[in-house]
Amino acid sequence: MKRGILVIIAIILVLTLILGIKIITTNGNKNYTLSEIRIKILSAYEYTNYTYEYIQNGEKTTKWVRGNIIVTENDETYSWIDEDAMSMITIDKTENTFLMTNLNSSTKDLLFKKDFLDMKSILNRYGDNLVYLRNETYNGKNCLRIRAGEDAQYLIDEETGFVLKYEEVDGALAEFNIEINNVTEKDVKLPDLSKYERVS
C-alpha cells in the first residue's frame, strides 16, 4: 500500500517537473500575430539616434542616424543626407570627388531610409504572407524569426524591431548590427569637402 502511494507521488513529482520545465522554456515566447509582427517591424522607425552596420559577403557598410541626418559609409563611398535641407552629398573615396544633389519629395523618400532594408516596402510586398516561427537568440539579443513568403526569413530584434539577419533559401545572407543612442554630432558632421573635386 505504502509502496503504491510512493509510486503515485513519484509519478506526480516527475509530471510536475516536466510541466515546470516546459513552462520555463516557453516563458516569454508569445505567438505573434500578423498585426503584431507589422507593428514590431515598424517600431524601428521611431528611433532617431543609432548606428546600423550591414555585412554581406564580408563587406561592411555603416549607417549613422542622428535626427534628420543620415551618414552611410563603406570602403568606396561616403553619403551624407540632410532631410531638413533636402540635400545629399556623395563622396567617391576612390576618385576623391563629390557630388551634391538637391532632393525633392520623391527622391528624399527613396533615399532617406532608416535602415538598409526598406521594411515598409517589404511589408507591402509580402502583405499577409508573414509568419512568426519562433523566438531565438542572435548576437546576445532576443529575436523573432519571421518567414516572409516562401523564400526568405528575417530575425527581428524583439526590443527595437530592427532586422538583424536576412536569409534566403538560395543561400543569400545579410547580417546587421544595431546600437541605439550612440551617435554624436561629430559622427554625422559633414567632412571637409575642400579635399575633393566637385563633379556635376
Which residue carries 516562401 as its cell? 150
For residue range 146-196, what is the model confidence (pLDDT) as tens digits? 999 988 999 999 999 999 999 988 888 889 999 999 999 999 999 899 999
Cβ atoms within 10 Å of 90's Cβ, excluding its own = 16
In the chain, helix, strand, coil percent, each to 5?
30, 40, 30
Q: Which residue has the higher pLDDT, 26 or 39?
A: 39
pTM of the model: 0.75
Q: Does CATH number 2.50.20.10 belong to domain 34-198?
A: yes
Cβ atoms within 10 Å of 119's Cβ, excluding its own = 21
- The one-character DSSP state at 186 is G
Q: What's the number of CA atoms in the CB half-sphere (13 Å) around residue 150? A: 0
For residue range 92-112, what is the model confidence (pLDDT) as tens digits? 999 999 999 888 766 665 565
